[in-house]
Structure 1
Amino acid sequence: MAQKYTSPSAAKTTKPAESMQPVQFIFDKSNYTLLAAAVVVVALGFVLMSGNTDIYSTTKIVIAPIVVLAGFGLGFYSILKKPQTKA
């Protein structure tokens, strides 16, 4: 089967300016801010968990995992949060 050749200029379609709509992003600025905060909280939790002295300290076995889980929870919330609609 032969394919029909079309020139590149014929393939271009121009749309009038009034029919173009602004791009709607999935996430809002607040979503990205919360996601960045979640990354910082998770990193802080891993820093609290690191080190090689006193592996049975309360900070390493209780507080740090709670901080990491809180960071993951904040990340999930930032993804699921609906952006505000402009009225």
Structure 2
Amino acid sequence: MKKDNLPKQEFLFGKRNYIIMLIGIAVIALGFILMAGGGSDDPNVFNPEIYGWRRIRLAPTLVIIGFGIEIYAIFANPKK
């Protein structure tokens, strides 16, 4: 069988969509990185830093924004 007769395989999304998806994944990863830490080495000592603005407000907001970017990347028209 000749290779010329085989149908050309295409990706599900366009290049623009994949770039937007990578940006969304980076924003989600940044949110999870900002959420990490804040614990204490000694279990008898409470560290109030776990309730800091960065872990309670900023990090979850970045994760939600990242998921929004992912949804946009899925629905964006690759032909534009």
- TM-score with structure 1 setting the length: 0.68
- Is structure 2 residue 67 aligned with structure 1 residue 72? yes
Shift in Å at residue 42 of structure 1? 0.3
1: CA distance, partners of 2:14 / 2:63: 24
Shift in Å at residue 25 of structure 1? 3.3
One of 45, 48, 51 as aligned partner of 1:56: 51
2: CA distance, partners of 1:59 / 1:36: 23
1: CA distance, partners of 2:19 / 2:79: 14
Structure with the bigger percentage of helix: 2
Shift in Å at residue 52 of structure 1? 2.0
In our comparison, the structure showing a higher alpha carbon Rg is: 1
- Is structure 2 residue 41 aligned with structure 1 residue 46? no
C-alpha root-mean-square deviation of aligned residues, in Å? 2.0
- TM-score with structure 2 setting the length: 0.73
2: CA distance, partners of 1:50 / 1:24: 39
Report sequence identity in percent.
Answer: 37
One-letter identity of the residue aligned with 2:19? T
Unaligned regions of 5+ residues in structure 2, if any?
40-48
Give aligned pairs, total: 70
Shift in Å at residue 83 of structure 1? 1.1
- Is structure 2 residue 11 aligned with structure 1 residue 25? yes
Runs of 4+ more than 3 Å apart: 19-25
Correspondence for 1:10? none
Shift in Å at residue 26 of structure 1? 2.7
2: CA distance, partners of 1:72 / 1:47: 15
